[in-house]
Amino acid sequence: MQRDPNIDAFDFAGGERGVLLLHGFSGTPAEVRDLGARLHARGYGVIGPALPGHAREGRTIEEIRAEDYLSAAEAALETVRGRYRTVYVVGFSMGGTLGLHLAQRKRVEALVTINAPLEMPAHVRNGVPFVARYAANALLPVNMRALVGHPGRAIMPAHAVVTFLDVLERIRGGLADIACPLLVLQGTHDETVPAANADTIVAAAGARARSVMIPNGPHVVTMGRWLDAIEPVIARFLADADRGLPRDERNSARLP
């Protein structure tokens, strides 16, 4: 099968420093591919897998449960660890939440989350399980940007969204176990993930975590003009981790 850069996983080989780059729920690796290419240009090897049931990973979304997402993230980390001496994780949306899971349980030198959810709005948190109870295959809008060309699926069955919520539930309780440096990027105008999630993550993860708010930033900040704003911040954070430098001890900041 011919590879499609708009859908498939990517692997940009590098030297001794590797980045596991995880996309979000209902998306594809394409939504983080440009970020991966920029990090690769800075000398990092970057692997961007497809999450279970997404893109052309092989399984259908109907088959996937929370355990599949968690175990797939762990397996991808082991792949990167097998090739690179130093391993960082960068995750967008649910990919960032999966990064939090990895940092709780595995050795990760540093973690960057980008608009990562721990809590969704009440209408999602309460409404979707109610719908799924009576109509598990009801199609719900999850990614309307896909209707205008954004990578991924515009709609998902209700039970798949319940699985996504289950992932968040499983990860929320262990944030205090994160020991690596953590950068939490959050758009102030994120229309999908409430911006308060950034404060929740930093408060729970403790002194090694800090947030950077992206003024007027929407949910998808990993593509287009927003990438110009976030990529230098990520690069500086990883460069400091490379050198083992002490980070800025402020717990929060804003992009100019």
Residue 3 confidence (pLDDT): 63
The superfamily CATH assigns to domain 10-254 is Alpha/Beta hydrolase fold, catalytic domain (3.40.50.1820)
Instruction: Answer for the pair 83, 56: CB distance below 8 angstroms, yes or no.
Output: no
Contacts of 82 (CB under 8 A, 6+ apart): none
Are residues 86 and 61 in contact, defined by beta-carbon separation less than 8 angstroms? no
Whether pTM exceeds 0.85: yes
DSSP at 135: -
Q: What is the DSSP letter of 126?
A: H
**pLDDT score at 58:** 64
pLDDT on residue 178: 93
Q: How far apart are CA 37 and CA 22, in angstroms?
A: 14
Distant-in-sequence, close-in-space partners of 245: CB < 8 Å, separation ≥ 6: none
Q: What pLDDT digit, counting tens, does each position of 78-127 carry?
A: 999 999 999 999 999 999 999 999 999 999 999 999 999 999 999 999 99
Confidence at residue 2, expressed as pLDDT on a 0 to 100 scale: 54
What are φ and ψ of residue 40, in 5° steps?
-65, -40
Say what the pLDDT of residue 218 is.
94
What contacts 106, CB < 8 A, 6 or more positions away? 74, 77
First-last CA distance in the chain: 44
pLDDT per residue, tens digit, the chain (256 aa), is: 456 666 789 999 988 999 999 999 999 999 999 999 999 999 999 999 999 998 776 678 888 999 999 999 999 999 999 999 999 999 999 999 999 999 999 999 999 999 999 999 999 999 999 999 999 999 998 987 877 777 888 889 999 999 999 999 999 989 999 999 999 999 999 999 999 999 999 999 987 899 999 999 999 999 999 999 999 999 999 999 988 755 555 566 677 6
Phi, psi of 17 (to 5 degrees): -110, 125
Task: Match 């001890």 to its residue by tokens.
Answer: 249
User: What SS3 state is found at 94?
Assistant: helix
The DSSP bridge pattern shows strands 139-141 and 86-92 to be unpaired
Helix, strand, or coil here: 186?
A: strand
**CA 100 to chain CA mean position, Å:** 9
